[in-house]
Structure 1
Amino acid sequence: MQRALIVDDSKTAQVRLRKMLSRYDLAVDIVSSAEEALGYLSYRMPAVVFMDHHMEGMDGFEALKIIKANPNTATIPVIMYTSQKGDVYVGQARALGALDILSKEIIKPSSLERVLACLHIVPKGEAEDSAVATKPVNTVIDPASMPAEKPHADLPPANDEDPVLVKVQTQVAKLFEMHIADVRQQIADNSRFIVRRLSGELEKNQKTEPTIDDVPVSVLNAELTAENRRGQFISSSLLFLIFIGLGLIAWELYDSKRDNQFIKQQYSQLMKLNTDNQALISSLTEYLSAQETEHGLDGVDPAVMDVVSWALENNMHFDYGAQPLGEEQIVKLNALTYQLAAAGFTGLVELDIHFGNFCVQMNSAGDWVLAAPETLVQNCVLVSDLNREYQVGDYLSMPFLGYEQNAQPIKEGRISVSLGVSGLAQPKMAYPEPIETVTAGQWNAIAAQNNRISVGFSYL
């Protein structure tokens, strides 16, 4: 099986390209830096390399130069897989030996298929059809028609040509043809440039002009003009920089004022939410105390605890990409713990983190963000397609650890807290169907309701 190498330090870009390559009969290897790629190529020859441009350490162009300068790796097709664009960048990449350029922002399966088709790499279904339709042809070569060669004792006996070797030879031949054409074009361009320059020099030398101390008058005039322009440019530049500085200062003041207003608004909303939650928990715990008195020492009525769980679940949602156990959620949990302890509850508080299956798309920085509200769901990527792993250890925030260590009812052993992660399973609200007519805004509104922390109780 042929291999493909992805060189990219962006995990999301790796996942996206690897998913698109799964349609082909390729074994995909991934490295995160150009240095790792060069080490990989020292012992393995992939059929194609997808190279990012901006990476930590050595960038994609430097790695491409080294690959093409090494005779052992010069024939490996390299495709630049980057967010860079423009004719200048494409020309630089091709001049250094890149086979083609694929944009991260607008890459489509058809674009990838077009590039791989040049390397005779086709999707799995087409490869199988081609294998069935094509019968192997063995060519018998008459030894008598071969030119005489000196025998070598260390050469192995001749065998039938390996189909893979034939493909590699064909690819190498095409690459050499492309490079030869580029070199010829460069030689022709350089020749025309040199001829024009020599013609200009000859015409210039044929003309005579007055000189001062062997210096042409035109040169002196040009120097004086350049000095005047330089002085004007410096003055204009200083004035321009002063205006820019004043503009930046004004913008910083405006931005700081706006940030302060936003922080005050968020703080007011948080305090109001906290007050409402405290009132809800207080009213519920008062009822819990009455239930405990009514039932004696048998404990709190389980139905009441289910009501508390429902109330908390409806107030413990978190935004996409936010920390589930952030400061806001820990304030609610801390208040609940003390209120339950005051009501005489003894047992286990069970926390379960649920995530919404949001409709997302990749931005220019390579990050997955919420898709535009008017985008159709069938045109974006669902979080479930990203194959994310949900481990409890990934969500143990500093506020939660401080809550576990400092809450007095927990330290005394009267109340215990357990944490679990259900991931995308057990959504609270069902997602709309069929998705062909659903927009990202409608879908993500449901996903936001499923992005929550549920609370359950067990009695000791």
Structure 2
Amino acid sequence: MADILALVVDDSRMARYVLSKMLKEQGINVDTVESAEEALGYLCNTLPDMIFMDHTMPGMDGFQAIRAIKNDPKTASVPIMMYTSKEGEVYMNQARALGAVDVLPKQLKPVQLIQVLERQQLLPHQIGDKKLNISPPNTPKPVQVEAPTPIVNASDIGEDLEQVAKDAERSIENQSFTNEMKQLLDDHKEELSSKSNERTDRILESLDKKVDEVSASLATFIKETHDNSGIFRSLSDNVKMLFISINAILVVGLGALAFQQSLEIKQLTGKNHSLKEEISVEDAKAESAKSNLENELTDNLYKNQLHLDQWVANLQWALNRKNQFLWNEKPFNKTLASLLKSTADKLNTAGFKGSINLTSHLGQFCLVANEDGDSELPVDQQTLSECTINDINVQQAEHLGLEKSIQFGNFIAAFERQYDNNLHLSFNSAGLSSPTSEYPEKNPEFSAQKWNSIAQQNHRVEIEFMPLQLEE
């Protein structure tokens, strides 16, 4: 089977990690880059079999990258799939028009990825067959027109955080089951060893008793013979003959008894040997069962980890759909503190260890001054000519983007005490550099309310979960 290579382009490390893991599960090699510009540089030297492209990235966005790739004859034939949180029929049509073959949601499930790869003939065995069946030069082949490819709609995926919490509970239950199975295996082995020792001890104890009985009988006979030897010499010949006959009978009887005891000892020894063989067989079976169970547990642990990674990615996506703050609020405020507290509890319960990275983005609001000289939002009918857009420089934007309320400061102190080394918080400010929605031209007649609606979408705090293994 030919080696298959995919390129994942996304500025989110978590998104790159989750998608790469699912692709590798299908036997696909993966390279990753964090920007469209880096992807174009990569394509100068390497031609992958497929590309997964995020839409919203700093600098060049996903659509601009698709145009550049499709305009280059060297890379134009590489299938591109958008991997984005954007959705809707309009967006899908735009992506198709630019040359994307499919659109995948950020909360992608493994089964959806397999369906898309199969539909696009991009699974390793499908691509391998294509490479093996390449026609000889100058052999024309009929052009096949494919039916429009259905695009996975992000609305098919649950957005509710309660469902995300249920996934976490299932992950925890799977981990608990794994631990219980390990304990049962250890208990079974200990019980088998205990029972084997008890059976061996009983056999040895029985052997000791039989040997003691034979030894005692022989000792008694010898003592009595010795004690009676003096009396025997003083008796008449007839009486001596009688005693000799009686002693002969006793000797024969004791010999028969000794022979019987010897047979029983041999039988018990044979049983002990058989028991040892049975114990050896049982030990081999137990060791085989342990090995099989350990392999199964290892497989379950891997699947549980993949499930946890997907759950964390879904949680991140859900939180970032409700991450805006008001125009006159500090980015790191009481509302965000409450959201992060409940989120951290879920992550800690699910066994996640790593960082919660928080990056603030500011919107450019158009504001007016009230009678007291304070800034406020304009009324519905006002235009850009009647308000002032808050243009600020890079240093001001960075400073404003890191402001924290008193309540948020208290939350940080409690967070560090509660989660110690398991969870960490990091804070960054992107200022005005990465709007999620583009602003229109500054037409004086443009509605101030519509302008501020776009600014509100950009006025947000992005949340990213970074597992410990990625940080290292």
Common fold: TM-score over 0.5: no
Query: Relative contact order (C-alpha < 8 Å, sep 6+): which is higher?
Result: 2
TM-score class normalised by the smaller sequence = 0.3 to 0.5
Q: TM-score, normalised by structure 2?
A: 0.35
Q: TM-score, normalised by structure 1?
A: 0.36
